[in-house]
Amino acid sequence: MKITKKLIYLFSITLFLSCKKDDAKINFTFLQINDVYEIAPIQGGEFGGMARVETLHKELLKENPNTMLFLAGDFLNPSLLGTIKVDGERVRGKQMIEVMNAMNFDLVAFGNHEFDISQKDLQKRLNESNFPWISANVKLKTNEKAVPFYKEKGKNQIPVNETFIKEFSDADGTTIKVGFIGVCIPSNPKDYVEYGNMFVKARASYAAIKDSVDVVFGLTHVKLANDKRIAKLIPDLPLIMGGHEHTNSYDKIGNTIIAKADANAKTAYIHRISYDKNTKKAIVKSELKEINKTIKSDVEVGQIVNKWQKILTSEIQEIILKPDEEIYTTQIPLDGRDTPIRSVQTNLGAIVTKSMSFSFDDEVDCALVNGGSIRIDDQLTGNITPIDIFRVLPYGGAVLKVKLKGRLLKRVLDYGVLAAGTGAYLQRFNAIKVGERWMIKNTPLHINKMYTVAFSDYLLKGFDIPFLNAENKEVISIYQPNEKELAFDIRKGVIAYLKNQ
């Protein structure tokens, strides 16, 4: 009997040890968001919100401690909060860094909008961040040469690396090293930024890291077509977490999955990954999770968001008393994304320009605004509030009623067409090109006729269209609205117009 008990005991110990033996398999989770400009929920509180994302993040960490949180570029700009001043200095993404630090992001990529802000402001945001950044193809230009961007910590400069390595271990002792590579689209040329070739640098950074890790993933901010090309160039990437497009997508090129979530954390991708060290294969199972009001806000992150929202609300209430009022509802997305708004006529551009005419009781021949004034780089759907309109037009400014000669109006309209792809492209109301002719209110434009046009005040400063300014002899008169008029602030005009629909 004693022998039997001893055998049973030994068998139990052996079984226990065998259960704890390294099985060469390990599970880990990636939580991915991209193109996030607003820390608070958007569209009347329906979608998004970084405090909600953090609740999901913590739930995933409880499910599996081997969980990483990523942002695939574009978060410092544009945002409504970023345009306001606190203590005499524009925020310029400071609010986003504070929230992201509290969320303990594991890795972020540069997006093209990170370079909207000045080198000085970007350096401040890098210094403030507690999380690592990655980029293989963007470098800081100096007088001597291009060097990696860096964080200043005390007297030390900590460079932004081209690659990143994370080590995972599980309960049975399986340990792996996971590598990451990242590149950014060269669509925002700045004097202080040098862009290397995306594809050359992606391959080079992969080659530099692949022998030091078990598996490599991508964290990119490029067009989907570029991600697909990278997937073909580096077929051993199981997953590329990308950004830039703003609408969710899930594609597979060979064995590589390319995933992008919706902008402003309307959705997030959860990637549950199982890696087998013996077969050296990663199985990726992805879930697109809608971030909506059914998800409770994390308390700590929520407090930071609320602090910044109070600052924002106080600023907006100086112009609009009820910033959270629902003023309009649309099921058709109003398109304010950068590429369309600077290249083609969009429905959001139509609303802005129609409202400019509305602000003057439609007593103008046409209305024009430069696409670069529309800064939301997103689409609006559902319930629209004044805050959303401030997100569309964060810099505000007056609408001017300008009397000018037809010859100058034609030059301005022609210039706007030729400026497609830039901020000088013109969104228009009552000005349509038919063949080679411009039609103003459905009547052919005559170069010797006088026209009354509603312009955004920025356009009359001559920054986008050099010859359009008060000194031009073909500008006959400029009417500047007073504080009591809708046209005094373009945003008030848009809000009033939408309320009237």
| 322-362 pLDDT per residue, tens | 888 999 999 999 999 888 999 999 999 999 999 999 999 99
Asked if residue 244 has pLDDT above 80, the reply is: yes
User: Which structural domain, as residue segments, surrounds residue 238?
Assistant: 22-290
Q: What are the CA-CA distances from residue 373 to residues 47, 78, 164, 208 (Å)? A: 25, 11, 37, 42
Mean pLDDT, the chain, rounded, equals 94
Q: Give me the CATH number covering residue 284.
A: 3.60.21.10
Q: For residue 300, is it within any domain?
A: no
Q: Which residue has the tokens 């050296």?
A: 280
| 365-395 pLDDT per residue, tens | 999 999 999 988 888 988 899 989 999 998 8
**What pLDDT, on the 0 to 100 scale, is given for residue 395?**
85
Mean pLDDT on 11-17? 49
Asked if residue 1 has pLDDT above 80, the reply is: no
Asked if residue 299 has pLDDT above 80, the reply is: yes
Share of the chain above pLDDT 90, in %: 84
- Return d(Cα 70, Cα 50) in angstroms, integer: 13
Name the band, by pLDDT with cuts 50, 70 and 90, for residue 12: low
- Return d(Cα 297, Cα 293) in angstroms, integer: 9
- Same domain? For 246 and 386 the reply is no
What is the reported pTM? Answer: 0.85
Q: For residue 208, is it within any domain?
A: yes
**What pLDDT, on the 0 to 100 scale, is given for residue 13?**
47
The DSSP bridge pattern shows strands 89-90 and 85-86 to be antiparallel
Name the band, by pLDDT with cuts 50, 70 and 90, for residue 85: confident
Mean pLDDT on 108-126? 97
* Domain total of the chain: 2
- Same domain? For 281 and 340 the reply is no
- Same domain? For 279 and 376 the reply is no
| HEC sequence for 303-351 | HHHHHHHHHHHHHHCCCCCCCCCCCEEEEEEEECCHHHHCCCCCHHHHH
Asked if residue 11 has pLDDT above 80, the reply is: no
Where does a domain end: 265, 290, 315? 290
- Same domain? For 47 and 115 the reply is yes
- Return d(Cα 24, Cα 1) in angstroms, integer: 39
Q: Give me the CATH number covering residue 473.
A: 3.90.780.10
- Same domain? For 246 and 352 the reply is no
**What pLDDT, on the 0 to 100 scale, is given for residue 16?**
47
Name the band, by pLDDT with cuts 50, 70 and 90, for residue 479: very high
